């Protein structure tokens, strides 16, 4: 069977070497060993996860109850985010008929690597203790690491089916690195607020993936057209991903917001925006098809646009109806994107975007950044209270005198920074991925698990007609015996 | 392929217009815009999710820690309930062989609409501030909105496969409205306790769905018999729904009970009742079949009966063994229902109940209401303590002098109110749904995603025999090329 | 169809009676009734779930907030553990092509029974009040019951496809009993620490299952070879199990550790070990196959080895890089196990281990026990602080003077106790299961849901060729009509 595939490769187009038996283990081992060494040098428990320090911290801060440990404020949200990263993104990418193993499996691999690298990169930029030279980690760092990985997983959505796992490891290595730098510029230097990551995660990740996909454009991708689509049950699998993303998005946008009202409000806003975008996504999907039939691609993706677009503004006082309006608009825009923009981008911009991340992440993320800018600029003492304004926008230290209007301007600037980092970084990484050493598949071999996985022989792959042909049963004793019994059972 | 279906429609029975290209988008847009306007007029953050108010609240109530925000008491339970509503109910309804898209997809649509309408309806009835005319929402309102939607999702279980998404929107609009009214009567006027909703959710939702199904009786539904069943993997998908419902039911029944012991006890009771009903459901399922084989329908549904039946009593001091007994009995009753009552109802009462909600929601919900009445009537100062009795049954204000016996009587009365609302409301809604404008499928087109969804071409739908027939391959170049490769891979 | 199976049974080997219509219901009813009686005699709410006691407890302990109830410290973790037990273990075992119903369904049955029996057994050994003769339960007991059940579910992994549900109930009854005794010896008498259960859960459960499997060795199991494998979508289902286990393992290892830093640190350590073992499992899997292709069996299982191996040491100050190293090694060892050891065990030791629990639970569990011993022995006042050392290792009461070195020795001894209990207990239970009364399947009927379940007729099981053969359509009117329509839709 393998020979047949290689034969097909020869027959249809250029020969590609997809053997990753050396490169993939090498990358995994070298990078994991590097992680161990760097963790040994830099990473330590913080004062809430270190037994000695926590006891001292409680004494020095007059804390009487362990429930004040940040763990109890954030751990439920962390686990929801964790589910979104591994099951949400993973299963959303199982929708292709013969690429479900790679969709969920490579997502698993690169997320597990990326979160380690993210702990280091984000630690160096955000929480390196200048005295000890160490990074002290707790549950909030774990959440941020998951967030950081999300940027690269979004990029994987555009590349799905067209790259090798080794290339994905490279995408993640650079993706996490770029993320940490743009996040440092946006959150620390520009002092933007972006708790749910409309800018730093979605806009960045979306444009990063699109830029890579643009560089890796395959003019003969139509040779794999037969596999670039779903089957009935693969679409149902993808709905697992959609629903876990949809349900837990309120946790995503509230996971690192301020304790108390901040987390509470971010949940309400995200919950409402998501509900609203379901209805408009369904409406546009139905309008765009003959006889009003719904398209699973829209339901699986555009229903989530409201959550993406609330990533920045969720912690602000955007009001409940404001959240509904954001979801309303983004559900429409995202579904229109799937109907019109994705084919347009492929035809005229040579961007092949397998999952349509342009419509689910890039554009709603960008819009979310601007929504955040507007809501920040419109903030007032009357609505937030003086103390609340300081708490919500962290107008402290160097930024104590910043006005909300200025803040709005910086939020908008931050969105542009994220997009720029995505586009430029993605183009550079794309060129690195063009070296012919990464084991990527040939044009006629895309979207096919067979290239990188031992795929089980399905009963369907053995022609059922065999069992009516005694002669053939005797010739292929093993296979037909197996098949015969299954068919009868 | 579409034409062929329509042809079949002509051939087998009356012609139906299932084109919803105008009606579905129209309903979605109009209702979503109405939601935005009504939210703009009525809905505001409450004192725990509004930044200014929470700071003031902490000052005025001498609260030193943000962990006292109700968010931290209820958010983990809220997310579990959310999973039950979207993944639990959604995937439980994927069991039909060719109706999985609609099962999980329409569940998604109507829940996302219903929870918005529920926030308004429940807000008007339960938490409208008479001074400001506003509804102030927090995490408990989100939980209640999810609960309220559950009533309509239960009704969908009876209608599965036989109605259009537009009809489901109508079912939800009226379902949520009726729910809010009966809940107001039962909880506020009769002052019943029903934290997990045996009465207000399950008994109401169950009878609501059965009454609608009775009005919409289709004498020729057997024309769709070929699709009214499962295939192997659709049954495995449904187990995802079952298990998430089963695992998170303790969160469902404890989500809005009293802080502290109330939530703690509700979890223990529900956990035990559920465990017990698994064993008796398996026992009856095995007894009812030749050679003791288990039936997936029973495992997917009757194992949950214990959770339904503990909806009212879970917060009471029913004792751990009391919970086991409730689960024991309801597992038996529910499985018997699937074996004997559902066919009986269809034959003699003309009620076509696709998911058997009669056995999983209507009857266990009703029993749960009466169990709650008995346990309430048996409450004593000895067991609860004086303070505990007041806390558990909220014997405060107008109800300060109510005895536990009286409470038991009111609980029983509440159950009857819920059933009456379900039956009468369902019958009325059923008649509305009979108007020939809603795009429902013809009798021979039920249980078929093809009617409302763009369904991918499966490899199975293309006869494998084609690939042995060169002539046909050439005639159907595109399709057979695709198929040929999949079969080989 | 049933007759045909029995016929095949006659033809291929010894006749087996797999009729469980009496035995399964009998076991379920008798055991569930026994549970109700024993719960009635022994089980009561504890002071945090009983309304009167909690009010008194708050008064007597000067507790001002309900958030101090242990419920809020542990419930989110409990629900994650619950998901691991029912969805994690359940779906991990759906990987076989025609044993998914049994994989997830029997897991459901025995877990629901086992947790009730565990509450009793663990109660008698750990928390029986000597004054009242009662067991007082709260959320921590629910977590421990889930843990206790995990031992038997691990054993099911080795037996998957080869035993009847009645046998599994016996495996669980004895498994839970043995678990409670070994846990009492290890945790109470030897005073070991084992919060995540490397020793008491994984090493015990792993060797328990292997010993049973050794006694039940089937020399002619190759007769079922046709069914001992996966199909494409069953492997995707299994990934649901894998991912929920992987994501929630930090909750598993932290669920019952000390409040505050203990839970916080256990999460960080487990999270890191798991991430690390993904990379090395992928590396070894790729190295072991032609052309570097990944094997789903490794991805589904060996990626979890890091979590198993951190079960003991997660709550200790093992350091973040220490956790990475543990995951690194166990990912390698576990994958090597799947490649080399499992076939070796089957060939030379006559152990048929369907899921490879040797590589995922037995060996990583044992290693985890020894890692815990080493980390305990290396503990110092400098790192833990004096108070922290006492808190972490519970050096109180009779054990106030124990040194960390002694503790390390006892930890190692505890691991040996767990293994011994597993091996000896498993051998004894295996002999019990050899009685010819339990309805186990014949050698050629293993791995087949058909034996214990009403399996729906799949479209695939009816040869598609039929629809081109009018004569046959007329002969098999019902079946072919159904099939005909599905194929066209």
Q: How many Å lie between the alpha carbon of B260 and the closest alpha carbon of chain C? A: 5
> What confidence tens digit (pLDDT) does each residue in A330-347 have?
999 999 999 999 999 999
Residue B471 has pLDDT above 70, yes or no: no
Note the maximum CA span of chain C: 87
pLDDT at B469: 38
Q: Tell me the C-alpha distance between A333 and A309, whole Å.
A: 11
Where b means 16+ CB within 10 Å and e means fewer, A162-180 reads bbbbbbbbbbbbbbbbbbb
User: In C, which residues are within 8 Å of A82 by CB distance?
Assistant: 247
If one compares A286 and C11, the residue with the highest pLDDT of the two is A286
Q: How many helices (H) and strands (E) does chain C have?
A: 22, 2
Note the maximum CA span of chain B: 87
Tally A–B CB contacts below 8 A. 259
Cβ–Cβ < 8 Å for B90, B104: yes
Contacts of C258 (CB under 8 A, 6+ apart): C315, C391, C392
Out of A261, A279, A387, whose CB is closest to B49?
Answer: A261
Q: How many Å lie between the alpha carbon of A472 and the closest alpha carbon of chain B? A: 14
Q: How many Å lie between the alpha carbon of B317 and the closest alpha carbon of chain A? A: 27
Q: Testing the interface with C: which of A21, A47, A49 to mutate, by most C Cβ within 10 A?
A: A49
Residue C133 has pLDDT above 50, yes or no: yes
Q: Testing the interface with B: which of A2, A65, A239, A442 to mutate, by most B Cβ within 10 A?
A: A239
Q: How many Å lie between the alpha carbon of C247 and the closest alpha carbon of chain A? A: 6
- H-helix or E-strand spanning residue B393: helix B386-393
Chain-chain contact of A243 with B456 (C-beta, under 8 angstroms): no
Cβ–Cβ < 8 Å for B317, B382: no
User: By CA distance, what is B381's nearest residue in C?
Assistant: C52
Residue-averaged pLDDT of chain C: 90
pLDDT at A16: 78
Q: Tell me the C-alpha distance between B74 and C30, whole Å.
A: 38
pLDDT at C115: 97
**pLDDT band with cut points at 50, 70 and 90 for residue A477:** very low
User: In A, which residues are within 8 Å of C91 by CB distance?
Assistant: none
Q: How many helices (H) and strands (E) does chain B have?
A: 22, 2
Which subunits count as partners of chain A given 3+ CB pairs below 8 Å?
A: B, C
pLDDT at A488: 35
In 3-state terms, what secondary structure has residue C45?
strand
> What confidence tens digit (pLDDT) does each residue in B359-368 have?
999 999 999 9
As a whole number, mean pLDDT of residues A130-136 equals 95
> What confidence tens digit (pLDDT) does each residue in B80-135 have?
999 999 999 999 999 999 999 999 999 999 999 999 999 999 999 998 999 999 99
pLDDT at A5: 41
pLDDT at A15: 64
Give phi and psi for A196, each to the nearest 5. Answer: -100, 0
User: In A, which residues are within 8 Å of B86 by CB distance?
Assistant: 243, 246-247
User: By CA distance, what is B58's nearest residue in A?
Assistant: A260
Structure-token pair, residue C342: 């499992």
In 3-state terms, what secondary structure has residue B43?
strand
Residue A451 has pLDDT above 50, yes or no: yes
As a whole number, mean pLDDT of residues B12-28 equals 81
Q: How many Å lie between the alpha carbon of C425 and the closest alpha carbon of chain A? A: 36
pLDDT at C17: 85
Of A302, A300, A279, nearest in space to A234 by CA: A300
Q: Tell me the C-alpha distance between C348 and C341, whole Å.
A: 10
Chain-chain contact of A69 with C261 (C-beta, under 8 angstroms): yes
> Could you give the angle at the alpha carbon of A93 between the alpha carbons of A87 and A98, nearest 5°?
120
CB-hemisphere CA count at 13 Å for C459?
Answer: 28
> What confidence tens digit (pLDDT) does each residue in C76-121 have?
999 999 999 999 999 999 999 999 999 999 999 999 999 999 999 9
User: In B, which residues are within 8 Å of A302 by CB distance?
Assistant: none
> What confidence tens digit (pLDDT) does each residue in C141-173 have?
999 999 999 999 999 999 999 999 999 999 999
**pLDDT band with cut points at 50, 70 and 90 for residue C246:** very high
Could you give all domains of chain C from N- to C-terminal order, each with its CATH number?
A: 22-451 (1.10.3430.10), 459-488 (no CATH)
Residue B8 has pLDDT above 50, yes or no: no
Burial-class residue A11 by CB neighbours within 10 Å (0-12, 13-18, 19+): exposed
Chain-chain contact of B79 with A5 (C-beta, under 8 angstroms): no
Out of B20, B71, B439, whose CB is closest to A264?
Answer: B71
pLDDT at C16: 78
pLDDT at B459: 54
Task: Name the least confident of A154-163, B322-331, B434-443, C186-195.
Answer: B434-443
User: In C, which residues are within 8 Å of A33 by CB distance?
Assistant: 328
Chain-chain contact of B43 with A321 (C-beta, under 8 angstroms): yes
Residue-averaged pLDDT of chain A: 90
Chain-chain contact of B226 with C481 (C-beta, under 8 angstroms): yes
If one compares B471 and C430, the residue with the highest pLDDT of the two is C430
**pLDDT band with cut points at 50, 70 and 90 for residue A17:** confident
Question: Would you say how long chain C is, in residues?
Answer: 489
Structure-token pair, residue A473: 């049963």
> Pairing between strand C43-45 and C135-137?
parallel
Q: Tell me the C-alpha distance between C49 and C138, whole Å.
A: 6
Chain-chain contact of A247 with B54 (C-beta, under 8 angstroms): no
As a whole number, mean pLDDT of residues A34-54 equals 96
User: In B, which residues are within 8 Å of C480 by CB distance?
Assistant: none
- Of chain C, the percentage scoring pLDDT greater than 70 comes to 90
pLDDT at B465: 38
User: In B, which residues are within 8 Å of A271 by CB distance?
Assistant: 115, 142
Q: Tell me the C-alpha distance between A169 and C303, whole Å.
A: 17
In 3-state terms, what secondary structure has residue B316?
coil
> What confidence tens digit (pLDDT) does each residue in B172-205 have?
999 999 999 999 999 999 999 999 999 999 999 9
Q: Tell me the C-alpha distance between C452 and C440, whole Å.
A: 10
Chain-chain contact of A229 with B456 (C-beta, under 8 angstroms): yes
Q: How many Å lie between the alpha carbon of C121 and the closest alpha carbon of chain A? A: 30
Residue A481 has pLDDT above 70, yes or no: no
**pLDDT band with cut points at 50, 70 and 90 for residue B14:** low
Residue A462 has pLDDT above 90, yes or no: no
Chain-chain contact of B291 with C28 (C-beta, under 8 angstroms): no
Chain-chain contact of A293 with B65 (C-beta, under 8 angstroms): no
Which subunits count as partners of chain C given 3+ CB pairs below 8 Å?
A: A, B
Out of C31, C67, C90, whose CB is closest to B243?
Answer: C90
pLDDT at A436: 86
User: In B, which residues are within 8 Å of A328 by CB distance?
Assistant: 32-33, 36
User: By CA distance, what is B449's nearest residue in C?
Assistant: C489
Residue A44 has pLDDT above 50, yes or no: yes
Q: Tell me the C-alpha distance between A286 and A264, whole Å.
A: 34
Tally B–C CB contacts below 8 A. 263
Q: Testing the interface with A: which of B32, B37, B255 to mutate, by most A Cβ within 10 A?
A: B32
Q: Tell me the C-alpha distance between A115 and A176, whole Å.
A: 9
Chain-chain contact of A142 with C271 (C-beta, under 8 angstroms): yes
Cβ–Cβ < 8 Å for A276, B32: yes
Chain-chain contact of C227 with A485 (C-beta, under 8 angstroms): yes
What ipTM does the predicted assembly reach?
0.91
As a whole number, mean pLDDT of residues A47-69 equals 94
């Amino acid at each position: 069977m393998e020979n047949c595939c290689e034969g097909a490769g020869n027959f249809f187009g250029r020969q590609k070497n997809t053997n990753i038996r050396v490169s993939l283990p090498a990358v995994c081992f070298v990078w994991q060993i590097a992680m161990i060494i760097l963790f040994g040098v830099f990473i330590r428990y913080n004062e809430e996860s270190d037994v000695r320090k926590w006891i001292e911290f409680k004494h020095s801060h007059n804390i009487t109850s362990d429930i004040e440990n940040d763990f109890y404020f954030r751990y439920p949200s962390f686990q929801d985010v964790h589910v979104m990263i591994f099951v949400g993104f993973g299963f959303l990418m199982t929708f292709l008929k013969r690429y479900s193993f790679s969709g969920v499996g490579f997502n698993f691999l690169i997320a597990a690597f990326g979160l380690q690298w993210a702990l280091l990169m984000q630690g160096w930029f955000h929480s390196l203790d200048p005295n000890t030279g160490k990074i002290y980690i707790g549950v909030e760092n774990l959440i941020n690491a998951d967030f950081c990985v999300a940027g690269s997983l979004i990029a994987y959505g555009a590349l799905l089916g067209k790259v090798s796992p080794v290339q994905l490891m490279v995408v993640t290595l650079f993706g996490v690195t770029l993320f940490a730098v743009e996040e440092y510029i946006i959150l620390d230097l520009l002092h933007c607020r972006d708790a749910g990551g409309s800018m730093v995660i979605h806009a960045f990740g979306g444009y990063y993936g699109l830029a890579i996909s643009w560089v890796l454009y395959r003019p003969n991708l139509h040779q794999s057209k037969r596999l670039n689509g779903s089957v009935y049950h693969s679409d149902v699998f993808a709905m697992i991903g959609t629903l876990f993303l949809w349900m837990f998005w309120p946790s995503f946008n509230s996971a690192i917001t301020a304790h108390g009202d901040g987390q509470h409000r971010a949940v309400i806003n995200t919950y409402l925006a998501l509900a609203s975008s379901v209805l408009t996504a369904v409406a546009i999907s139905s309008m765009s098809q003959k006889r009003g039939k719904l398209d699973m691609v829209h339901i699986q993706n555009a229903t989530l646009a409201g959550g993406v677009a609330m990533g920045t503004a969720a912690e602000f006082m955007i009001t409940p109806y404001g959240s509904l309006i954001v979801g309303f608009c983004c559900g429409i825009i995202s579904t229109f994107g799937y109907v019109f923009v994705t084919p347009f981008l492929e035809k005229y911009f040579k961007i092949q975007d397998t999952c349509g991340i342009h419509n689910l992440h890039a554009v709603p993320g960008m819009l979310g950044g601007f929504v955040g800018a507007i809501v920040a600029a419109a903030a007032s003492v009357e609505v937030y209270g003086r103390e609340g304004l300081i708490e919500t926008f962290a107008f402290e230290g160097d930024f104590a005198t910043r006005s909300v209007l200025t803040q709005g301007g910086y939020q908008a600037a931050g969105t542009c920074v994220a997009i720029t980092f995505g586009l430029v970084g993605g183009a550079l990484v794309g060129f690195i991925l063009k070296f012919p050493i990464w084991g990527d598949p040939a044009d006629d071999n895309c979207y096919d698990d067979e290239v990188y996985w031992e795929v089980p022989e399905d009963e369907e792959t053995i022609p059922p007609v065999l069992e009516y042909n005694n002669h053939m049963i005797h010739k292929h004793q093993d296979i037909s015996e197996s098949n015969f019994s299954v068919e009868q059972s």
